[in-house]
A and B are shown apart, each in its own frame.
Chain A
């Protein structure tokens, strides 16, 4: 049972335009959400996170939106740059004492120059 779903395997956008990466979750106990970015032959690196007490968190060109009622979050990248081309993983956890991150399958973003 996949608790974190990234239903679109890939996304291609033009440099300078907005990239919107979507993520859905099914576990209502999840209350903390993160996005990780992964380049080939490297480990994932943390990008941005959001707690369930917020509906938006912004860091430079990256903004994450959370819609708890829909169990949906999205990552917006504006403006998109060729260096943003990577695999983006959505991850979620509860904040219990022994919580763990559950990852989605990832979305491959390609930013065309």
Chain B
């Protein structure tokens, strides 16, 4: 079974530029998550999708971050304009369960963003 795919693995941009990350979850997984992991901290949920609807985006900085999940499968996370504090690893995860977190999340390898 293929895992969660993410791209690009690494991205270096200057502040005020824009960047987009892509995620393809495990086939059949209804729920998709984007997490931000800053060095030395644990992953922080940015947004959670249930199929193609947003379940939770309370910690997404909506003035600069946006995310979509078209057709309930792939997802993109965009940052525009980027700030220095956005330097982090952006982790995509998916889970089979339709609602609630009582099972495991499957994470991709992450996209490491460096903002100069």
Contacts and interface: CB of A to CB of B under 8 A. Distances in A.
Contacts, number: 62
B109 interface: yes
Interface of B: 4, 33, 40-45, 48, 55-56, 91, 93, 99-102, 104-110
Given A32-B102, A43-B4, 13 more contacts: A6-B42, A41-B109, A43-B107, A44-B107, A46-B104, A93-B100, A93-B101, A95-B102, A97-B100, A99-B100, A100-B45, A103-B43, A105-B42
Q: Is the interface of B mostly helix, strand, loop or mixed?
A: loop
A105 B100 contact: no
Nearest to A43: B107
Interface of A: 4, 6, 32, 34, 36, 41-46, 49, 51, 89, 91, 93, 95-106
